[in-house]
Structure 1
Amino acid sequence: MISKQKTLQGKPVADPFVIALAKCLENSCVVTSETKSSNAAKLPNVCEHFKVDWTNLEGFMEREDWRF
């Protein structure tokens, strides 16, 4: 999930911490524009592995009952 190149270049990497925080908090989910991929460590795949709810922005707005 954390690419070696990003780590070596000192670039910020937040994904693991976002998932860990969502797992610790009640009634939370990870909001991402990524989609599941069978051969990649994308946020949705990792969230499902650790049983963390995830959604996209539109799903989040529906979940929170936003109205425009």
Structure 2
Amino acid sequence: MILYTMMPHELVFGSQMEETNRRQVDVNGVPLLIEMNGEEAKVIQILSTNPMDFLNQETAPGQTLKLTFYK
């Protein structure tokens, strides 16, 4: 795949500094990308290919999850 853009590499692909506190976890069988914030985690992205997983409000992007389940 070739990507033609005038945007800087950091804006298109993100910087490594941003992703240091991000992890991939499974919540009820749904793979999620979360960002760690102390005792809580914020859902950044749903990594599932199942369309029904995107309708679940508990794992929607922007939701806050408790970390006790993911240690």
- TM-score, normalised to structure 2, is 0.26
Highest Rg: 1 or 2?
A: 2
- TM-score, normalised to structure 1, is 0.26
Greater helix fraction, Structure 1 or Structure 2: 1
Q: Which has the higher contact order (CA 8 A, sep 6+)?
A: 1
Greater strand fraction, Structure 1 or Structure 2: 2
